[in-house]
Chains A and B, each alone.
Chain A
Amino acid sequence: MAETPITAKQPLELSVVIPVGERTDDLAALHAEYRRGLDACGVSYEMIYVLDGSRAAVREALLALDEPPERVRILELAKAFGEATTLMTAFAAARGTKLMTLPAYFQVRSDELPKLLTASKEADMVVARRWPRRGNALERLRREAFHRLLRLITGERFRDLGCSVRVLNRQVIDEIDLYGDQHRLLPVLANRQGFRVLEVDVAQSPHDAFRGRYRLREYLHRVLDVLTVFFLVRFTKKPLRFFGTLGSATFAIGGVAAAVLIAQRLLLGQPLADRPALLLACLFIVLGVQLFALGLLGELIIFTHARQLKEYRVANLVEAVAKDPVPGRERGTEAPRRTAER
């Protein structure tokens, strides 16, 4: 409303997005800490706090900050949508050419932020990795296991996806649609989309600690997230490869089992009547065909949307007229500025 004219004259260089969910630390202290780090960056910036659902206490704390409205903006979602949606909403409202996400709790030392911003000049996305890292053996094991699994399934070698301190070009989120719980795996998605993603070691905040909130269900969610991303990344354009492989394998198991049973019946004269194994074999065959049919349905879906799902991204085009390589990968300066004020 009132703050738009300022940015219209002079584009902001950085929008810092801080999604505020269930887990928060003392926001006044955190804000002061972030301010110190961001001021040291030497760029013009705004900070957007996005409240995921109504959080009266947090809002009061933020309103109590002594900051001009164009420096600190508060966006409130009407209900809790989850972090991925929160982030996407905030990115749509952000006016900076570069975007930074920070957690609403202490994770890294804020004097490391300039380092990340410098690194982002050479990449499309910079992911912070807290290193050296504190934590007991159990936490280390847990972390190690998750990132091993990630590497096993997606082949990506990120080492601290739990850290939500990231810097990204606007183009990254223009091309990647985040939903569900995929925000954690944004670096993986960006990398697969052909963006350059850097992992930078930063010092861990002294206040960062494992808060023991992780329950079994959350582990399950994490693993399912990885599987979803794996499927999306590998098989979006070829569902039959995925379902077809599962289906053929199931079908083959059932087929072999049925063949053995029938051979036993015909050659050895063993009666089939009391053998539920035949039904099991048949069930496998049926399941295999069903999986296959799902794959065919998937292929139809892809075909009917093939024009929207462009698979490749062009980095640059060199031609005689332009003389110099035309950078296709712009800093995002020309990205349409979107406003979501009300």
Chain B
Amino acid sequence: MEISVIVPLYNERANVEPLAEAIVAVLAETGLEHEVLLVDDGSTDGTFEAASSLVPRMPSVRVLRLRRNYGQTPAMAAGIEHARGRILVTMDGDLQNDPRDIPLFLAKLDEGYDMVIGWRHDRKDKLWTRKVPSRIANWLIAKVTGVPVKDNGCSLKAYRADVIKAIPLYSELHRFIPAMASLAGPRIAQIKVRHHPRRFGQSKYGLSRIYRVLLDLLTVKTIVGFAARPLQWFVLLALPALAMSAGCIGTSVYRTLANGEESSTPIAGVGVLLGALAFFLMMAGMFAELIYRTGDDRVERFAMLTAAETARAAATARRLN
């Protein structure tokens, strides 16, 4: 199997049929062996029935139904796990992505990239509730994780299956797939994609997610940046507290010495508290080392995925040509 297109669906009954038809049409044109994996994330509006009714007509369509509504990330993870293609393409089920862009992604992957990310450069959404927060979030994510992706929110992406299948995806980390994938250091390309306004159904996002995105961002930073050396991370976090503590205690000691008697400066208490905090954080770092050591996911595993082997194969191929 060459290509799997994965579409998570949640209450998208009206969109299922046009979407599947469009994808199958595009894939048939490429002439490659393909499947369309529709993941029904516990919809309550008959999405599953609508999707399964397509199967007899379109034999390349497979429908995976989850037991209840788990959210977009688990639905995506389920699709990735059950897909059989060598290349996986993910996209939204709301027809805002255009399946006609898929061949562009395949061409990019053929150039030797491990991961191709869509960029909705001409986005058809509301400005203040969708576009502006998204712009800020993307800037922040790029800054913090060091993975300069212009549009993390675009679901239209294509991956080498062996790489993406190894990346842990849980909670609501689907927004951070490029950042999480950077554990494996994949070669990432970004291409512009078409974006359509929503035709049927309701948008399932709101402004409330900003706070959650911020917390998730911190999670991703901790994992991607420091999973293998957490003590460093916690010491880094402890440094400001340590510095402030030293300043406070130093000031109060200086004052005591200057006055020649012990004065009741509250600043000494503050210094002691901050010192305790710094100590706690460093101990937490030790604890984190213990966690990593006893855990069963190793950063080396990701390094192996994208390392020398593929790079050399590509180079040899180029030389031979």
Contact = CB atoms under 8 A, between A and B. Distances in A.
- Please say whether chains A and B are actual partners in one complex: yes
Interface of A: 193-195, 237-238, 240-241, 244-245, 272-276, 278-279, 282-283, 286, 289-290, 293-294, 296-297, 299-309, 311-320, 325, 329
Given A240-B218, A304-B292, A306-B297, 7 more contacts: A241-B212, A273-B265, A296-B284, A303-B295, A307-B297, A317-B64, A318-B65
B292 A300 contact: yes
B126 interface: no
Contacts of B237: 289, 293
B55 A286 contact: no
Contacts of B82: 314, 317
Contacts of A300: 222-223, 227, 230, 288, 291-292, 295
Interface stretch (B67-75, B104-112, B151-159, B192-200): B67-75
Interface in B197-237: 212, 215-216, 218-219, 222-223, 227, 230, 233-234, 237
Contact of B273 (A238, A286, A301): A286
Interface stretch (B15-23, B114-122, B274-282, B313-321): B274-282
B284 A314 contact: no
A240 B219 contact: yes
Contacts of A272: 266-267
B276 to A, nearest CB: 7
Interface in B267-313: 267, 269-270, 273-274, 276-277, 280-281, 284, 287-288, 291-292, 294-297
Contact of B62 (A238, A275, A317): A317
Given A312-B70, A315-B66, A317-B82, A297 B264 contact: no
Contacts of B266: 272-273, 275-276, 278-279
5 contacts: A303-B168, A307-B297, A313-B67, A317-B82, A318-B55
Contact of A318 (B63, B227, B233, B277): B63
Nearest to B221: A296
Given A317-B62, A317-B82, A311 B269 contact: no
A319 B56 CA distance: 8
A294 B296 CA distance: 20
Interface string B20-39: 00000000000000000000
B59 interface: yes
B296 A305 contact: yes
B309 to A, nearest CB: 22
B134 interface: no
Interface string B72-110: 011101100010000000000000000000000000000
Nearest to B167: A306
A88 to B, nearest CB: 22
A237 B170 CA distance: 7
3 tightest CB-CB pairs across the interface, nearest first? A304-B295, A194-B67, A306-B168
Contact of B67 (A286, A301, A314): A314
Contact of A319 (B55, B75, B78, B269): B55
Contact of B56 (A304, A308, A320): A320
Nearest to A124: B67
Given A282-B273, A293-B280, A311 B234 contact: no
Contacts of A238: 171-172, 215-216, 219
Nearest to B294: A304
A32 B230 CA distance: 61
Main secondary structure of the interface of A (DSSP, over half): mixed
B181 interface: no
Contacts of A194: 42, 66-68, 70
Given A312-B70, A319-B62, A304 B296 contact: yes
A340 to B, nearest CB: 27
A255 to B, nearest CB: 13
Nearest to B227: A303
B218 A296 contact: yes
Interface in B141-187: 168, 170-172
B295 A317 contact: no
Given A238-B171, A301-B291, A314-B67, A308 B296 contact: yes
Contacts of B42: 194
A300 to B, nearest CB: 5
A310 B291 CA distance: 19
Contacts of A315: 65-67
Determine which residue in A240, A282, A301 has the highest number of CB atoms from chain B within 10 A of its CB, and name it. Answer: A282
Contact of A241 (B64, B215, B227, B297): B215
A299 B61 CA distance: 36
B190 interface: no
Contacts of A301: 291, 295
Given A314-B64, A318-B65, A299 B223 contact: yes
B52 A299 contact: no
B288 A297 contact: yes
B219 A319 contact: no
A329 B222 CA distance: 37
B65 A320 contact: no
Nearest to B276: A286
A81 B206 CA distance: 47
B34 to A, nearest CB: 13
A125 to B, nearest CB: 13
